[in-house]
Amino acid sequence: MLAPNASHLEDLMVSQTEYIYGLDGSLTQTEKSSIRAIEEAAEIIKNLKPGDNYEASELFNAPVSYWLDLQDYRPLQEIKLVGKPVFIIHGDRDYQVNENEYNKWHSAVEDMINAESILITGLNHMLAYGEEQSTPQEYYQLSEVDSSVIDLMAEFIQEN
């Protein structure tokens, strides 16, 4: 699993937006208002019920059915039901699925004999290496998955 989230997507939308808006060290009133609007949409998503009539534009451009489908998904519990070897890789520069998400996965699988999780220094969400603070702009630059990811995956596959 490459940079999987443990939290619900609507919660990640809030934390990602806070991160991006905070890159310059401050939040404008417009940015604060935007964050509040995203938090409100996330709260609506958390409380959706079949038959609710929201437009996709009110729900991060996804229909009610999408969010209802994800409501009961609990990946940290589901992973314990997997009988096959599991390898989870995160990067410590990933602001989309940040280190808190890695910590949740790591705690969930640390007692499993068929699972391993790793946090690799310097990698962003695309598992590309960088030294600067991760920003949305770096995704517009051509990059490759860091060779350490490929090496670790190959080793895990060979051993399992």
**What pLDDT is recorded for position 131?**
94
**pTM of the predicted protein model:** 0.90
Say if CB 50 and CB 73 are below 8 A apart: no
pLDDT (tens digit, 9 = 90+) per residue, 46-74? 999 999 999 999 999 999 999 999 999 99
CA 56, CA 63: separation in Å to the nearest integer? 5
- C-alpha–C-alpha distance, residues 100 and 3, integer Å: 12
Q: What is the structure's pLDDT at 112?
A: 95
